[in-house]
Structure 1
Amino acid sequence: MKPIQILLTLLFWNVIFSQNSTLDVKHLNIENGIALSGYDPVSYFVASEPKLGDKKISLKFQGVIYLFSSQKNKDTFLKSPTTYLPQYGGWCAFAMGDYGEKVEVNPKTFKIIDGKLYLFYNSLLNNTLKSWNKNEKKLKTQADKNWKAITN
């Protein structure tokens, strides 16, 4: 690669990551700086159920630490990080759509919709994924609006 190509590539990535990092960490569902309760974000897409990550295989992206169950998954994440980030900052998609609130999730209760990760509350005989599935289109539309209002 020529020096000018390298410079342009670096500038391009700087712009992309700057735009993606505008979401304030205070809006994200993280504990001790770690996303997804320590679950590997890539595992949601490649395994039948999410896998816990390993602190030895981690990286910080946009101010948040992500753990991975394998180096392969970490490498996959690095190729397209935003692909694997949970929607609505990792908060419950149903709650975001139903009443616009940030509600904790069970990281094992999830759904992939159009290549995006959605997480749900599931405790005390209340699995909000079931409620989401009954009216997904309307709830998703409203959740998108509510999330935009919260983060702007």
Structure 2
Amino acid sequence: MLTRRLLLAAALAALAMPAAAEEPPIFAASELAIRGYDPVAYFTEGKPVEGSAAHQLMWMGATWRFASAANRDRFERNPQKFAPQYGGYCAYAASQGYVAPTDPAAFTVHDGKLYLNYSQRIRRTWEKDIPGHVSAANANWPKPLKK
């Protein structure tokens, strides 16, 4: 009888505990992916370009903005090609097993994929071993979202 009471008490205690926090799959400051920058422009312009509310769409629970309707349409046809890796969270942080926000200017396009970092300083660390960091981040992802 005592064992049954202990099991019941443990079960009730587990139900009363708050659920572990889970990060959304896409890093979106103020609900805007990449802080409102156009993901396609990183590939076509080679730099961050601000998107416009006139050219936006919802994907993976976040609002994505684009500099033009053509860029929006390209993204819509193949979002996996243009969306930043690791949901737009810091790629270096993902390689280390955690999540961090990103600066749209701290980016790298490597092997046809967009990687964002927390800052220019972190980007320099990332660039010292991109293949190694990508391998580590791929092995970790998406576990850091569940912490």
Indicate the TM-score class for this superposition, using the shorter chain for normalisation. Answer: 0.7 to 0.9
- In the alignment, the residues of structure 2 paired with residue 96 and residue 78 of structure 1 have an alpha-carbon distance, to the nearest angstrom, of 26
Deviations 1:42-99 (A, max 9, x none): 11110031110001111111222110111111121122111111111111111211x2
Determine if contact 2:23/2:145 at 8 Å carries over to the other structure.
no
Extract structure 1 runs of 4+ deviating beyond 3 A. Answer: none
- In the alignment, the residues of structure 1 paired with residue 116 and residue 26 of structure 2 have an alpha-carbon distance, to the nearest angstrom, of 13
RCO higher in 1 or 2 (8 Å CA, sep ≥ 6)? 2
Runs of 5+ unmatched residues, structure 2:
1-21
Query: What letter matches 1:49 in structure 2?
Result: K
Aligned sequence identity (%): 33
Q: Does 1:135 align with 2:132?
A: no
- In the alignment, the residues of structure 2 paired with residue 150 and residue 94 of structure 1 have an alpha-carbon distance, to the nearest angstrom, of 12
Query: What letter matches 2:112 in structure 1?
Result: G
Query: What letter matches 1:88 in structure 2?
Result: Y
Q: How far off is 1:32 after superposition?
A: 2.7
TM-score, scaled to structure 2: 0.77
Q: Which residue number corresponds to residue 9 of structure 1?
A: none
Q: Compare CA radii of gyration and give the structure with the larger one.
A: 2
Q: How far off is 1:131 after superposition?
A: 0.9
Q: How far off is 1:111 after superposition?
A: 0.8
Gap change, CA 1:25 and 1:73, over 3 Å in 2: farther
CA-based RMSD: 1.8
TM-score, scaled to structure 1: 0.75
